[in-house]
A and B are shown apart, each in its own frame.
Chain A
């Protein structure tokens, strides 16, 4: 009984903590973030298993955690409001080539971060080549280049 309750408590606690931490912080994992994740995993493992190292305990814990994830995904599918609450919403950081300072400040995203994604995803070199930049729910930044910066295979229709 207690292992199922522990799993549910840990699941929702982690969900809350990572939601409060914001989408940015774990999207681009630095070495330190990675170490931190490992430590969190270790601590969580202690809390979940306690002194019960039986196979049954492991199976029940895994089934409870994965089951919660499935249940949440089903609820999210049915209730967009709940999905917003759990996953957040995308935020526009650059609109029509103009940097939006407020969302950038709140989401702790700098110009450098946007440029990094712009280089990586689109091969763009300057901010003025970007039409839209969006911080997605998973913490990644997607870039829509200005029309004249598009490469021929970017759009649906190749330009003549």
Chain B
């Protein structure tokens, strides 16, 4: 088409104007579509695409029921009812309130009715932690301006059982204390993400080239070595012990001396992890068996005896002259709590009657025989700290484990007086678990196992048990030493308390009544009661450590802690179906 326009005519001007405008359009479109391409593509994607998180499911925690895993911590989807008071119609309010009272029951917030009248607010939480069924019933009512937000919470079918071992998960989804805290990274998993074009209702569509789906990696399902039946028994026995003695704090550990696996770990007072937000004293979150070091007292005489026998300086049948007191250095006298067993007596007798003088004598014999000299102190430190691992975290898979302390002979405080008192369990700080783990090595033939509370993992294929633990240090004492200490502790128990044991079984142990350190010395009004023992038939099946204490409570190992041990021990024999020795 060829238009002949007269030069300077209005048509020519119009054509020029149209061309100019078209040119501007072309330039503008070039700018928008070519130069600004990336910018507008990004804006369009922002509008069309949705990036959502695919939440990872937190791993479950199992305990054992005999050999079968049972769920101890589970996940449940719960709903929060949120309303927008500004859009809720007046006529609907009464019906909404009535429905919430009827269906949500105790899950409604106190005074939720008043929240609906606050029309200045656009967000009012009316009820929390509704079950799926409750939420579905409310959804059926189709209240306008009410939404249901789903969240996941931890549930505990066994209630407060093993609460301090488990720990809890806070509102932000982070594990705190116990297994939840220690294994938080393993349990929480890794969230996935979904980047996709969506419709107005946020339904993901497959159109588009940039859709990306990264699946979530759920947390691992952990199977603990805790046996729920043993745990329940230990918690019950401990509670009964506290009630009987008037003690206000108690800890107990039951472990398998052949593997280091913890079968039960209990503390009182405790809490229900499902109601962690109701706990007033945060100290209750701590697992006292691993986080509250104390001077264990006479239960450690078993350690001193093991060190003396293993070093070849004493046997349980060896004798010494007991005068009910012994001088350390120039001005420090150690006396016996039980008086009158004087004269030439055996170390077995000293163990049975828990005579401090006998164990200070063993400490002296680890040196030159007359004093707890540097050689003696080095030997004791080697056994107590390096071999039986007192004063070091055991490495159990639980949060907030304390190290305790065993002062080295290299330090000024590591003098003869300290090591003399250490021979009967004073002057050092250890946790209940450390003492139980070291004692396990003493009675199992001399191999130290790291205490563990993880028995394996639950996978889609079923329970995958960890390999049988190997000792972290073999032969910390000789088999012969182990046998002699087992025999000595069995005799010590049998001579005084054996009548309370089931006949035909090999039970042994040692009492402990520890003084409590106060500024400038020891308290006269408070002692801590302990009992450390083992049991089994032809082989060791369990080690139990019990500790009871209370503010301004004078508690004794024999009268207060020992009955708790006996209660648990006799029950364990039946539960583990242990056959009588021989």
Q: Do A and B interact?
A: no
